[in-house]
Amino acid sequence: MEISISSELLQRARELAQAEGLTVEAYVERLIREDHEWREFAEDPLDATDPEFEEVREAVMEGLEDVERGDSKPAAEVIAELRAKYGISD
């Protein structure tokens, strides 16, 4: 099967795939799998009976403790860094 996308998007996919040591095909397959996993996660939220619940809870508590100690950055700064890192424009 062949899929047509803009040359700009194809170039971006090549760059991202190469940065991760993947072919464009493998990169796109991974994106589709990850999208599916996130959709399942969004439809089925964690509750206290899920094995991952405690891990997520501990991560959130650690983050809150970081904020209370002042070991955090403003969200706008973090978002700007992520945009720069992944080449996402405003």
Q: Domain coordinates of the chain in residue numbers?
A: 1-45, 46-90
User: Given this model, what pLDDT does residue 41 score?
Assistant: 67
Q: How far is CA 4 from the centre of its chain?
A: 25
User: Given this model, what pLDDT does residue 40 score?
Assistant: 73
User: Given this model, what pLDDT does residue 51 score?
Assistant: 84
Token look-up 């969200």 returns 75
Q: What parts of the chain have a pLDDT lower than 50?
A: none
Looking at 2.30.30, 1.10.1220, 1.10.287, 2.60.460, the CATH number of the domain 1-45 comes to 1.10.1220
pLDDT digits (tens, 9 = 90+) for 40-55: 767 677 788 888 889 9
Q: Which of 23, 2, 26 is nearest to 14 (CA)?
A: 23
- What phi and psi values does residue 46 have, to the nearest 5 degrees? -70, 150
Model pTM score? 0.45
- CB neighbour class for 28 (10 Å; exposed up to 12, middle 13-18, buried from 19): middle
User: Cα–Cα distance between 17 and 42 in angstroms, integer?
Assistant: 26
Token look-up 């619940």 returns 53
